[in-house]
Every structure is written in C-alpha cells, then in structure tokens.
Structure 1
Amino acid sequence: MVSIVALLSRAAERIDSLLPLSLVPFVLAALSLDKFRRIAASNADFRFGITFGFPTTVSSSWEFINVPQPTPGLTLPAGGVGLTVLVLLAVTVLSAALGAGYLGSLRRELAGVERSFLEDSRAYFGPFLGFELLHLALVLAGLLAAIVALPLGLLVLPLLLAFAYLFYATPYLVVVEETDLPSALRRSYEYATSDGEYASFFVQYLVSVGLVSVVATPLFSNSVLGAAVGVVVLAPVALLFDTATMLFVRDLAGATGREGPTASGTDPGGQSNMPVET
C-alpha cells in the first residue's frame, strides 16, 4: 500500500539536488498578492487554522497556510470581470510554462540525467496549457454563476473538487509517459476510478498538508512580514510534496523515469521509451 511518508522520505533524500527547483513554487506564491492583502486586512492578533491542499502541478507555500477568508460576498478587482479574466488568463499561461519546465526537470532529476528546464517548458507547454485552461474554465464558470447569484457559484465547488481528484495525476503522466493531454486525462481518470492506491495517496496528501498547516498557519499568517517569510520557508516543502507526487505517479505507471523528449532534441511523439537507470 502506498505511503506518503515513505514517498516524502524518498523525496527528501534528493532535496540537495532538487532545491533550485523550489524557485518555481516560490515565484507562484509570491505572485499571489491577494493572499498578502487578506492577511494585511485581518484584525486577528494570532491565528490558528488548518487547510487541506490537493496534489497539483506546482504546489505553493499557500497550500500550507490557512489564509483569512475575504469579506462575505463576491469581490472583484477595480477593473471588474474583464480585468479578473485577463489576470486569470495571464496566471494560467505563466503556470503552464513554469509547471512544464518544473515537472520536466523533476522527472529528469529523478532519472539521474541533466535538467533542461527551458526545453521541457517548451516541449510540454501545450498539454500543460490545455490542462490549466480546463481548470480555468471551471473557475470562470463558478465566477460567472456567482455573479448571477452567489449560491449558484457554490454549485460549481463539487465540480472543482471532482476535477482535483480525478485528474491530479494528469500533468505528471504527460511527462512520465511522454503522452498527449487527452491520453493523460484518460489514464488519470482510469486510475482514479479503479486503483485504490490513487485514492489512498490523495487522502494521505490532504491529511499531510493539513498537519503541516496546523504548524505553519500560526507562524506565517499573522502579518505580511510573516507571510513573506512563509513563502520562502515553505517553498522547499512544496517541492518535497510535488516530488512525492512525481514518485507516486512514476510507481503507479510502472515507469523508472526517462531522459525526456528534448534530451535528444526530438518531439514527445518520437522519443524512444528506453528506460534510464536511477
């Protein structure tokens, strides 16, 4: 049976060589300005809390911090819906580019071959962008429904939760199996609906993030300065969790890691499936 403790331990054994990749979780967390605003606006002198994060393409420090909730109701930036959509699109494109290079580099590092962040970012950008756009479509559906009537927006939450569970392995499968997005989505769905270890890892991941957040929330959610420190300190923790997810998906798919499509300058569809020893 899968054990996230064992997977995190395996990930920790490689942390020295993987540590430069923690810059990606750090950058994405630092760009989440709304989280800093919510902490600045909070009147609490000291906060306790717990949060449950899902396996995702790139975890961020905010996965481990229970951030104060915004004021009741739907709050949009000064530019309204148009500006909100543009910001979300920009974040989606950036997340796809960084996520493709990030997971590609993780796969290469675990395979014992030289990282090539930019080449992996270019090679996997298309499938990763498609995956991020699918998620964005659900988020926008919830946003638009909430504009019509706030309770309607809540109806989209089960769809977001279902998406998070059924397809969390998708971006990892894209790089592990060097496959296209439809194939990776189908494989992830098959694992989610037929493999007990897939569900077990998901639950263990949620619980593990919750345990970390119990400690991290009072340390990093009481001031903007504390949050800034937390973004730095928790970036390697996010990297460990993403590495554990990569190791789990590799084990689930029966892969040992390969050099990747760009190691020999070929496209994903033309790469040999010869394994590389770790």
Structure 2
Amino acid sequence: MVPLLTALLNVSSVGRTLAPNRGFSINLEFAFPSPLLDLWSLATPPEPAPASTGGVYGSPATGPTSPTGGSGFSGGGPTPGGTDLTVDTPFGIVAGSLESVGLAIVPLIIIGAIVYVVFLGVLEAIYVGGLDRRLEHERIEPVACVLRYAPRLVLYNLLIVGGFAVLVPVLLVAPPLLLLAFPVLILVAYLFYAVPFLFIVDDARFLEAFRQSHRMAIDGGAYFWFAVWHAVTAVVASIILSILVSIGGPVGLLVALGFATPLGLVLTAATVSFLRELVELEGQRWTM
C-alpha cells in the first residue's frame, strides 16, 4: 500500500521511533484531506530524550560543556561560533555547518526537492487515480494515471514547496508573524484541500481546480462538514498513534503502521468518493 511505502521511506521518523533514547509526546493533528495520508501525517516521533547528567547520588557528568571536560568542542563538530545547518528531508536528516558546506549544498537541496516533488506527484497520481478508478469499478492503469494526472499534481506540489520556501525565511526573521501565519495557513488549507483531488475526480485544469475548490469552500455545507469530520477523525487518530510511536520499538512501530495505513487508505478513498458526489451535485445544479 502507498501509505505504508511512504511511511517506511521516511527514514528519519522511523529511526527516531526505533531509537532507544526516545522521549514521549502526544500530538494533535488537525489534518484536512490529503492525497497521501500516512503514519507521519498523523503522528510526530518524539525527540530523543536528553542524556542523563548524573543522578541524585551520582557525580555530575563531564562532557564538552563541562568546566572540567576539556575544550568544549569536539573535533567533528561545528567550529566555534559557526552557524549550524540542518535539513530535515522525508528520507533523513542532513546536518552540518554553513561554514563547512558553504553554498555548495544549496543546488543539491533544490535538486533533491524537485526529485522528491516529482516522485510524490507520480505516486499521488497512481494512488488517488487508482482509488478513483476502483470506485468506478474500472481497472487501475498506473501509466495512464501518471500521464493524465501527474503533471498537475507535480505543479501543485511545487507550488506548496515554493510557498513554504518563501514563508519560512520570513518567519525566521520575524517570529511574531507565526501567530498570524498559523490561522492563515489553516484557512488556506480549508479553502483548497479539494484541489489535488479535483485534478482526478473532475479532471479539472490547474487553475480551474483552485477556483472550484474555493467556490465549494465558500458555499460551505457538505464541503465544510466533511472537513470538520476529517479533522476530528485525524485528531483522535493522532492521539492514539502518537502514544504508539512514543512507546516505540519494533512493536510500537508495527502496531502504529497497522493502524495508520488502512486508516489513511479509508480517509483518502472517502475523500475521493465525497468529492466525486459533490462535483456531480454541482454539475446538476448548474444545469438546472
């Protein structure tokens, strides 16, 4: 299944879940419909627990930052006063110092992002397109789905990545804007959650899908209540999954995958079915 594949490909999250020194966290994910809803869409692995620095009866541990622990800098770490660069990708974490990597890594990041976006668009085309065809009792034709839907999905994903690439530096410079950005992002997510699905269920052109989704959102009704139902379902599931992920280990990961994978499949299929019906109702309304 595609949600299982994407979850396992996220090496960073899998590694944090299996780490022996993991912490514990419970997160709430108010997730609107998404073409690829997997385990990591609903649960965030906890950060590693801080290393112990000695118990009540033990002596304080010495280390790089301890007054008796040496110079304070390890040979392989960033240089004093250096600026750390950490890139969290779906397939792992790349970390280093800006001084050591310079600008040479920037083209690699851009190329990696483009490759990932293309891969994601192709996967979404096969997955959601296949679900749409199965709901219509038709054969799944992966090549046909890719040729028909992938270009628009890739462009859509590039738009999202580009938007965040512009937004993140602004928020880093002016963190208070995050308070304003958060509700705006929720509103945008609500207004346009149907866009990638409309590429498939209605074969809508790129800009037309945005206009159509916006119109449905403004009308409210079933579009609004489906979003609420989906978000509430995601919140409940995220509580359960975050506990399982925090428990961690192979057993916790397997149980979480066993719960999240069919849930993601059901939610995505429900979204495809719902929007197909909504498009048909809109078509009937406009022809009356």
TM-score range, shorter chain: 0.7 to 0.9
Match of 1:24 in 2: 2
Match of 1:90 in 2: 115
Pick the aligned partner of 1:230 from 256, 260, 278: 256
Query: Which secondary structure does the structure 1 equivalent of 2:129 belong to?
Result: helix
SS of corresponding position for 1:254:
helix
Equivalent of 1:188 in 195, 209, 213:
213
Shift of 1:146: 4.3
Aligned match for 1:125, one of 150, 173, 196: 150
Separation in structure 2 between the aligned mates of residue 48 and residue 153 of structure 1, nearest angstrom: 22
- Report if the CA contact (8 A) 2:22-2:46 is conserved: no
Percent of aligned pairs sharing the same letter = 29
Query: After superposition, where does 1:201-216 map in structure 2 within 5 Å?
Result: 201-216=226-241
C-alpha distance in 2, partners of 1:223/1:192?
39
Cα contact 2:29–2:42 (8 A) shared by 1: yes
* TM-score normalised by the chain length of structure 1: 0.73
Which whole-Å CA distance do the structure 1 matches of 2:156 and 2:216 have between them?
A: 17
Change (3 A) 1:94 1:160: farther
The structural deviation recorded for 1:36 is: 2.9
- Go from structure 1 to structure 2 and tell me whether the alpha carbon gap of 1:54 and 1:88 turns closer, same or farther (over 3 Å shift): farther
**Aligned runs of 1:49-60 on 2, under 5 Å?**
49-60=27-38
Paired residues of 1:30 and 1:231 also in contact (CA < 8 A): no
Partner of 1:178: 203
Query: Aligned match of 2:269 in 235, 243, 246?
Result: 243
Residue type at the aligned position of 1:63: S
CA distance in 2, matches of 1:100, 1:70: 35
Report the number of matched residues: 231
**C-alpha distance in 1, partners of 2:246/2:21?**
9
Offset at 1:235?
Answer: 1.4
Post-superposition Cα deviations, 1:133-185, rounded to whole Å, max 9, x if no partner, equal: 11111221233224545555665444432332111111111111122111111
Work out whether residues 50 and 66 of structure 1, in 8 Å CA contact, stay in contact via their aligned partners in 2: no
* Unaligned stretches of 5+ residues in structure 1: 1-22, 256-278
CA deviation after TM superposition for structure 1 residue 228, in Å: 5.0
Separation in 2 of the partners of 1:52 and 1:74?
A: 29
Which segment drifts farther, 200-209 or 86-95?
86-95
8 Å Cα contact 1:105-1:115 kept in structure 2: yes
Return structure 1 stretches of 4+ with deviation > 6 angstroms: none
Please list the CA deviations of residues 170-228 of structure 1 after superposition, one character each: whole Å capped at 9, or x if unmatched.
11111111221111111001101113221111111110111122222222332252235
Kept after mapping to 2: 8 A contact 1:145/1:153: no
Task: Quote the residue 2:54 is aligned against.
Answer: none
- Is residue 2:56 matched to residue 1:78? no
Q: Deviations over 1:28-59 (max 9, x none)?
A: 22222232344438643x55443222211111
Secondary structure of the corresponding residue to residue 78 of structure 1: strand
- Give me the TM-score of the superposition, normalised by structure 2: 0.70
| Residue segments in structure 2 that go unaligned for 5+ positions in a row | 50-83, 88-93, 99-104, 282-288
Contact 1:170 1:185 in 2 (8 A): yes
Contact map agreement 1:24 1:102 (CA 8 A) in 2: yes
Task: Classify 1:162/1:34 alpha carbon distance in 2 versus 1 (closer, same or farther; 3 Å).
Answer: farther
**SS of residue matched to 1:28:** helix
Please identify which structure carries the higher strand content. Answer: 2
Residue 146 of structure 1 contacts residue 154 of structure 1 at CA under 8 Å; is this kept in 2? no
The 1-side partners of 2:162 and 2:109 are apart by: 13
- For residue 166 of structure 1, give the secondary structure of its aligned residue in structure 2: helix
Q: Contact conserved, 1:74 with 1:146, CA < 8 A, in 2?
A: no
Structure with more helix by fraction = 1
Q: Is the 8 A contact 1:104 1:175 kept in 2?
A: yes
Greater gyration radius: 2
Change (3 A) 1:31 1:163: farther
